[in-house]
Amino acid sequence: MIEFYNVSKVYPSGTHALNGISLSIKTGEFVFIVGASGAGKSTFLKLIMREEEPSGGRIVINGKNLSRIKRREIPYLRREMGIVFQDFRLIDKMNVYDNVAFAMRAVGATADAIKKRVPYILELVGLAHKAKRRPSELSGGEQQRVSLARALVNNPSMIIADEPTGNIDPKMSYEIMKLLNAINEQGTTVIVVTHEHELVNSFPGRVIEINQGKILRDSY
Ligand SMILES: Nc1ncnc2c1ncn2[C@@H]1O[C@H](COP(=O)(O)OP(=O)(O)OP(=O)(O)O)[C@@H](O)[C@H]1O
Ligand SMILES: [Mg+2]
């Protein structure tokens, strides 16, 4: 459960990215976040993952007030989250396999578990044949799918994806969204930022539209 109470975010530059957002997202929901460029969508996600802190208001995740948690507790919070960043954030010194395996090593998975799980996840996102390539040798859409594989690999209780289909052709986008939908049906909360209206209309789910830092629409 994610709860926002009158949350605002003003960046040091003076930009008001979010203005008084209140909402709650229940465990197991599938939520699309839509809105124009600069509306505040990524900021909203960054507040959930505590990459940014709010300037005002309160954020509570699974009963924990994020402004009260200690720095050393943040990794435990993030462990619950599979995050797909808008800018991928892959490690170019490592090949595709190791980028995904690294996320498992980071949470202490055994070598055996890694050997079983990584090939399965790469297959799932259609990248088994690119396991040995480095991110810089991949197309934008392929890098995006590595980033998705990394988000999925630890079986998180929520997936937070910032434009996971932004660099992918319509057919692959549809496949990725179908995958997220299937993961959601297993009980995982999924929050997806997208610009693609057609995708939003093709899948059931709640749609939250952000406009100039405020919620303009919140409907099913
Ligand atoms: N680190 C930052 N420092 C200062 N201003 C920022 C920062 N990040 C975002 N902003 C500003 O905050 C506002 C909201 O940005 P945000 O990244 O949340 O938008 P967005 O809805 O994700 O847009 P896009 O669809 O282009 O990704 C914008 O005006 C942006 O310029
Ligand atoms: Mg963004």
Amino acid, single-letter form, for residue 188: T
Residue nearest to atom 29 of ligand 1 (CA): 38
Residue 17 beta carbon below 6 angstroms from any ligand 1 atom: yes
Question: Is the pLDDT confidence value at 191 over 90?
Answer: yes
pLDDT tens by residue, 48-83: 999 999 999 999 999 999 999 998 988 888 889 999
At residue 164, the pLDDT reads 87
Atom of ligand 1 nearest to the CA of 39: 21
Q: Does domain 2-219 have CATH number 3.10.20.70?
A: no
pLDDT tens by residue, 74-133: 888 888 999 998 889 999 999 999 999 999 999 899 999 999 999 999 999 999 999 999
Question: What b/e sequence results for 115-144 when a residue is b if at least 16 CB atoms lie within 10 Å of its CB, and e otherwise?
Answer: eebbeebbebbbbeebbeebbeebeebbbb
Tell me the domain boundaries of the chain: 2-219
At residue 171, the pLDDT reads 84
Contact 152, 82 (CB under 8 A): yes
Residue 37 beta carbon below 6 angstroms from any ligand 1 atom: yes
The reply to whether the predicted model has a pTM over 0.85 is: yes
Strand ordering across the sheet containing 2-10: 16-25, 2-10, 56-61, 64-65
Ligand 1 site-directed mutation target among 9, 18, 41, 167, most atoms within 8 Å of CB: 41
pLDDT grade for 3, boundaries at 50, 70 and 90: very high
Residue 21 beta carbon below 6 angstroms from any ligand 1 atom: no
